[in-house]
Structure 1
Amino acid sequence: MAVIAAFVVNAALNLALGLLIAQILGPADFGRFALGTAGAVVLNIMLFEWLRLSATRFYSERVRRAEPWIRTMLDRAYAATALGLAGAALLALAGRPLVGEPALLAAAAAAAVGIGLFDYQAALARARFVGGLYLRLVLVKNGLALVMMVGTAWATADAAAVMLAAGLSQFLAAVIVRRALADPPAAFAAARRRETMRLFMAYGLPVVAANVVYQLMPFANRWTIAAVSGFAEAGYFSLAADIGGRIFSTLGAALDLLLFQIAVLAAETHGHEAGETQVARNGAVVLALILPSAAGFWAVAPALEAIAVPEAFRGHFVHYTLLLVPGLVALALMNFALNPIFQIRRRTLPLIAAGLVGALVNLLAALALAGPFGPSGIAAAQSLGFIAAMLFLGLRALTGRDRLRMPWRDPIAVVLATAVMTAAILPLRGLSPWLALPACVAVGGLVYGALAWRFDIAGLRSAVTARFGRGVPAE
């Protein structure tokens, strides 16, 4: 429960922080900040993600005791990569001014170091099921980020400086809790090191390659919009993409933190089939929460814009949100429902093919739509790319000889229940924003919750009664 609480807090604070930074910087500088942040995320995925994935898949309490060299290998690889990237950041500024594009590039590299270290510590806490420590890590990071990023934005109004503050807040949070997650160093033979590194790379690099493609797509789209229509337009696009992306990725990651580790534990203790069965259940749960959340976000977007979005972004936020939400939902379902199927099997090469399909569709759609529709066409092309990648990966996972055995009752029930919920809240969108927002959330939650409980969609009722029902001893 502490892990879920951490993600609820993280989602709320990240949403508030994004809106505050947008308000202070304004559309043009927020566009620069968002573009630099996207670059930092790409760097983090390229350099650190394969190690984070290896930590979540191959490190656990059992491994900590029986195979301590795995943690030592991870620590050394992270340290070497972070030092190299920090050196690259300094080189980017060598002989250059501390403002402008070189500063943005250096800030992206420095922020990637902070993101990478924070994600690593979070992955270790996740792998060991220490939810209280994970909650502490998230709270420290968000507290530091709120003070440092908002303070830097007020003091400098500079996108690169705010990015540096963001990376530093994550770095400091990871350092503060590092001792609680530390393991004693372990000696290991060179042959074991080579074997372990090959295992990490074979497992993680295909996932990394796919994720790099998925991050390069919005990065290239933002850059194209900035080049053609200016940084202000890129800022409008970026705020809608960042708010929507944070909502769905945070919700999916909160589930994945718990569910994927349960699947790994099932495979480790009961065999491969048990792991696949758990992954199938996990996918149904992810769909059961992501899809109604998407419909609800679409319904409340106008009210959210009127209440919380900075005035300079209003009008643009809802427009871009409606275009981007289908793609953001597809990306979340890929990352948290479909990717784990291939991760539990340690066969991650299909993820690269899906990423390439998505990038190709994004490119072709952007070329076709950018002319007649401008930046709106690029936003639509991004959604089409993510949807194409999801459909390709879904076909690979759920059809053929090695398909995952998943009952179709749950996906159909989720779609029908979401449709009923959407029909119930549509009339409420016409209310004033301060009434529409709580009314849509309350009615939508009650309608979907009642249907999920009545028909036990994705086993949610069974899970709740097993955890809190009568006859179950309290922990």
Structure 2
Amino acid sequence: MLSQTVHYSVASVVSAAVGLLSAVVFTRLLSPDEYGVYVVGLSTAGIVSALLFTWVRVSALRFQSEGGTVDVRKTIFLAYLISALAAPFALLVATLTTSVSFERNIAAVFFALGLGLFELGQELLKARLQSLAFMSASIIRACLAFVLCLIAALLGGGGLLQLAMAGLTYFVTTALFASTILRSPVAGPKLSDLRTFAGFGIPITLSGIVFAIHAALDRMLVFHFMGDHAAGQYGASADLVRQIILIPAVSIASATIPLAVRAYANGGADEARPHLEFSLEILLAAVLPAVVGVVLTSSYIAGVILGAEFRETAAQIMPILAFAWLFQSFSQSYIHASFHLAKTPFMMTTQSIAMLTANLLVMPLLLARFGLVGAAVSLVIVEGFGAAFGWYLTRKAFPLPFNAFQAVRIVAATAIMALVLTFLKPLLPIGILSFGILAATGCLVYVVAAFAFDIAGLRKAVIVQGARRNLWPASQAGHECPLPASSLTAPVTGLPSISVREP
């Protein structure tokens, strides 16, 4: 679990770093109107990708994760090709149902096709526990996207060319890793598996479409009511917060769900629950301090990272959006594991429909009354409702464990960090150096507190590793080891005893 999480975390950290660099560069090279074209295009592409490829993606993760002799890779790519044939229909629907131009919708559908292919390969790598390859592909794609989009911006291509270049990187990266994804031996495609995928994945596709519409609705409504300029300002702020909070959560979920499925397949609920409990502890330990850090330092983040035309809006709505991503990370990275394990995709659909309904009721009212601040507040309300409703549904699917003592320790460590930052902020003016001091201080204080409270077994793990290093020279010299060997190889208390090897 920890080894897998490290690889996924590195991929997320590097991708987030490139994302932050992109925000620094492109909010200065692009106007809010041009950035709005890119943001609206991404929203459209997300809906199209969910419509075409959700059933294939979730089937890849669910069935390939069973391990053993299971190999559905060629069947999965056959399913992708079948779905891709519906792309012209998706383009027609997007053109008829939105006020976006035909050219912008073409770029969005192209992006969706590349995104679907790349995500499919990544799901297969996750399912086969090839986390190192997953990490490499994520990093290469992020770096390639930055370079190509930078060239597009310098050539004056605007948001439309940005969208096309970003879509191209998905195809290129997938081609580079095709031999790794399809590492021999590979079983041939099976039509019977396609029927299984459809039976499992199509109900989730409805959920995926609804979630995609929900995820894009705030940006699309901002575009509809206020235009590209406001959509660009809102999208830049939302993307920045998402990179800081949601990407680490997704990296943890990338390790959680495949290993949970494998643990459940091997040992049932008794083996899956300890793994899930530890996964939740890691999730909260990573996300909660990030949320509080964004809330306390949003003006510094906006002043350092975003261009001048984006900063005022970001400083207003980033502290609000941080809580929306907290609830969303809890839903996607933990609650959804219950629906995967219980094979109850209709419950995920039920959750997504409830959230979209709430979004349609709340978002237009608050957006029309309070502008971009209203859009951010409505997103928090809807995501909080969705997390609570999803947790209720897990009681009927696979009941998820929740260790209150672990949560209290994480809250306490985060509160200590928040207290230090609150006293430090008035002493520091907005600037790069001040932001660096705040970020470094917050991280240091939180790590020390996490060590003191032994969050995720951190203190025990450090002590055990130190004991191993201290005893290694003695054992090499032929001296008797002062501790029994079993005490050095036994798992740390609180860690799930799941042993996995990367194929």
Does TM-score exceed 0.5, indicating one fold? Answer: yes
Distance in 1 between residues matched to 2:94 and 2:357, nearest whole Å: 34
Q: Which residue of structure 1 aligns with residue 70 of structure 2?
A: 67
Distance in 1 between residues matched to 2:404 and 2:185, nearest whole Å: 47
Partner secondary structure for residue 468 of structure 2: coil
The one-letter code matched in structure 2 to 1:459 is G
Q: Which residue of structure 2 aligns with residue 300 of structure 1?
A: 297
Q: Which residue of structure 2 aligns with residue 175 of structure 1?
A: 175
Q: Which residue of structure 2 aligns with residue 77 of structure 1?
A: 79
Contact 1:25/1:157, CA 8 A, preserved across alignment = no
Contact 2:59/2:201, CA 8 A, preserved across alignment = yes
Distance in 2 between residues matched to 1:203 and 1:284, nearest whole Å: 29
Q: Figure out how many residues of one structure are paired with residues of the other and give that number.
A: 461
Q: Which residue of structure 1 aligns with residue 60 of structure 2?
A: 55
Shift of 1:465: 5.4
The one-letter code matched in structure 2 to 1:470 is R
Shift of 1:240: 0.8
Q: Which residue of structure 2 aligns with residue 405 of structure 1?
A: 401
Contact 2:23/2:306, CA 8 A, preserved across alignment = no
Contact 2:75/2:188, CA 8 A, preserved across alignment = no
Partner secondary structure for residue 279 of structure 1: helix
Q: Which residue of structure 1 aligns with residue 446 of structure 2?
A: 448
Distance in 1 between residues matched to 2:465 and 2:66, nearest whole Å: 23
Q: Which residue of structure 2 aligns with residue 426 of structure 1?
A: 422
Shift of 1:470: 2.5
Distance in 2 between residues matched to 1:401 and 1:347, nearest whole Å: 7
Q: Which residue of structure 1 aligns with residue 378 of structure 2?
A: 381
Shift of 1:310: 0.6
In the alignment, does 2:47 pair up with 1:32?
no
Shift of 1:198: 4.5
Distance in 2 between residues matched to 1:271 and 1:451, nearest whole Å: 35
Q: Deviations over 1:52-82 (max 9, x none)?
A: 222222214834xx233x2221121012223
Partner secondary structure for residue 155 of structure 2: helix
Shift of 1:319: 0.9
Q: Deviations over 1:253-301 (max 9, x none)?
A: 1111223222223223323331233122212221121111111122222
Within-5 A mapping of 1:265-280: 265-280=262-277
The one-letter code matched in structure 2 to 1:10 is S
Shift of 1:313: 0.8
Moved more, 48-57 or 207-216: 207-216
Shift of 1:204: 3.5
> Normalization by structure 1: what TM-score?
0.89
In the alignment, does 2:47 pair up with 1:42?
yes
Within-5 A mapping of 1:301-316: 301-316=298-313
Contact 2:249/2:287, CA 8 A, preserved across alignment = yes
Q: Which residue of structure 2 aligns with residue 318 of structure 1?
A: 315
Q: Which residue of structure 1 aligns with residue 478 of structure 2?
A: none
The one-letter code matched in structure 2 to 1:124 is L
Q: Higher relative CO (CA 8 A, sep ≥ 6), structure 1 or 2?
A: 2
Q: Deviations over 1:154-175 (max 9, x none)?
A: 2133322211111101110101
The one-letter code matched in structure 2 to 1:7 is S
Distance in 2 between residues matched to 1:15 and 1:358, nearest whole Å: 29
In the alignment, does 2:242 pair up with 1:240?
no
In the alignment, does 2:462 pair up with 1:459?
no
Moved more, 288-297 or 343-352: 343-352
Q: Deviations over 1:149-205 (max 9, x none)?
A: 111122133322211111101110101110122145545665xx1xx3344344434
Taking structure 1 as reference, are residues 134 and 218 closer, same or farther at Cα in structure 2, changes over 3 Å only? Answer: closer
Contact 2:52/2:86, CA 8 A, preserved across alignment = no
Contact 1:50/1:205, CA 8 A, preserved across alignment = yes
Distance in 2 between residues matched to 1:214 and 1:224, nearest whole Å: 15
Distance in 1 between residues matched to 2:153 and 2:254, nearest whole Å: 32
Identity of aligned residues (%): 23
Q: Deviations over 1:39-63 (max 9, x none)?
A: 1112212222232222222214834
Bigger radius of gyration, 1 or 2? 2
Shift of 1:321: 0.9
Partner secondary structure for residue 129 of structure 1: coil
In the alignment, does 2:319 pair up with 1:327?
no
> Normalization by structure 2: what TM-score?
0.84
Q: Which residue of structure 2 aligns with residue 97 of structure 1?
A: none
The one-letter code matched in structure 2 to 1:223 is M
Distance in 2 between residues matched to 1:468 and 1:131, nearest whole Å: 27
In the alignment, does 2:10 pair up with 1:5?
yes
Distance in 1 between residues matched to 2:346 and 2:265, nearest whole Å: 22
Shift of 1:83: 4.0
Shift of 1:92: 8.9
The one-letter code matched in structure 1 to 2:78 is R
Return 5+ residue gaps in structure 2 as ranges: 1-5, 470-487, 490-500
Return 5+ residue gaps in structure 1 as ranges: 95-99
Contact 1:361/1:381, CA 8 A, preserved across alignment = no
In the alignment, does 2:222 pair up with 1:219?
no
Partner secondary structure for residue 344 of structure 2: coil
Q: Which residue of structure 2 aligns with residue 282 of structure 1?
A: 279
Distance in 2 between residues matched to 1:302 and 1:328, nearest whole Å: 18
Moved more, 408-417 or 313-322: 408-417
Moved more, 28-37 or 440-449: 440-449
Distance in 1 between residues matched to 2:300 and 2:170, nearest whole Å: 32
2:410 to 414, 421, 427: 414
Distance in 2 between residues matched to 1:9 and 1:355, nearest whole Å: 30
Q: Which residue of structure 2 aligns with residue 336 of structure 1?
A: 333
Q: Which residue of structure 2 aligns with residue 107 of structure 1?
A: 107
The one-letter code matched in structure 2 to 1:73 is T
